[in-house]
Amino acid sequence: MRDDATFIGIEVDDAVTGDAELAQKLQDACPVDIYANAGGRVEIVHENIDECILCELCIHASPPGTVQVHKLYSGEVLGSTA
């Protein structure tokens, strides 16, 4: 699943979007509420995406390669692809 705003794109591997534990971890980790635990599923809160402060807490809270933050203005991608 991927959702792009004006400056930031958030990508969560479809294989983990149904992981209730990860959904809660992401919701708890993000200081600007980009992620929500929607009944045990990872949901991206579109209206908050451009509030991303590039802290990488979501990347560190998730298995490697499952969450990526795309800087649409520079083409840089944060988060392991391995």
User: Over the stretch 7-64, which tens digit does the pLDDT of each residue have?
Assistant: 999 999 999 999 999 999 999 999 999 999 999 999 999 999 999 999 999 999 999 9
Whether the CB-CB separation of 4 and 69 falls below 8 Å is answered with no
Q: What pLDDT does residue 40 have?
A: 96
Residue with tokens 């809660």: 24
- Walk me through the domains of the chain, giving residue ranges and CATH numbers: 2-78 (3.30.70.20)
Strand 67-71, strand 42-44: pairing:
unpaired
Helices (H), 1-82: 20-29, 57-61
Q: Which helix (H) or strand (E) holds 64?
A: none
Q: What is the CA radius of gyration of the chain?
A: 11
What distances in angstroms separate CA 49 from CA 38, 45, 63, one per listed residue? 17, 7, 20
Per-residue pLDDT band at 80 (split at 50, 70, 90)? low
